Amino acid sequence: MQSGAAASLVEARGLKKAFGLSMVLRDVHVDVFPGEVVAVLGPNGAGKSTLLRILGCIARASAGTLALFGTDCHPGRPEAAVLGRIGFLGHEAMLYQDLTPRQNLELFARLYRGVRAGDATPEDLARASLERVGLAHAQERATRALSRGMLQRLAIARATQHEPALLLLDEPFTALDESGVDLLSEIIRRRAASGAGVVLITHDLARVSGLATRVVVLVGGRVAYDASPVPPAGDLARDYRRLTGLAV
């Protein structure tokens, strides 16, 4: 956790999540501050994706409290203004398959109208976003006809074009080629440099060491490790093996 005068973007306390009799998260405390890139690591089933969905207000915790941007979101309900400041990229692209990439991004730009500052039209935002992720040449294709890598680039554009103050990414490098990985890494750095907070789930420890400012390891639904600055990849791998018994 970070000390100092900066107000946290995320303040989660005592988060628990159960699915039936299965407890997935157990008393999780997490803070995310402006400019942080927090990498969340852990073995399969540790609760990483569940935590990210709770932070994005897509799922609700079974117990605990959550405040985003200083506004209580659990056990109460998040306000539309809070939700509009979140960018979420999960395992699903969350795109309309029968629309073109341009139409998808124009639609989401209209949904977020008023959240993003500036006078850009939805058409302008969509065009700029497609160029940023290298899809300008494919803007009129049906989204369902895109390759897996192109679909991931479009999902990145969808999650970031409104310049979210909190960007939540679940294994976002999946299906990306080297240029796509570099592109996303630069987007993450730019968002953090602008004062946004980024929470990133990944298994790539080398990338964590080069991109994240803080690393959290979940084991058995609990925070077992929280370090800033991020150790070098070799040291992090050693700590990860000690905590989980798994090689990476």
What percentage of the chain carries pLDDT values higher than 90? 88
More confident site: 117 or 240: 240
The whole-number pLDDT of residue 118 equals 64
Residue 5 clears pLDDT 70, i.e. is over it: no
Q: Give domain limits for the chain.
A: 10-85+164-244, 98-152
The whole-number pLDDT of residue 203 equals 87
pLDDT in tens, 183-204: 999 999 999 999 999 999 998 8
Residue 1 clears pLDDT 50, i.e. is over it: no
CATH number for region 10-85+164-244: 3.40.50.300
The whole-number pLDDT of residue 196 equals 98
pLDDT in tens, 45-64: 999 999 999 999 999 999 99
pLDDT in tens, 113-157: 766 556 789 999 999 999 999 999 999 999 999 999 999 999 999
Mean pLDDT, residues 218-236 taken together = 95
More confident site: 247 or 199: 199
Q: Which residue has the tokens 């852990």?
A: 42
Q: For the beta carbon of residue 18, count every other beta carbon within 10 angstroms.
A: 14
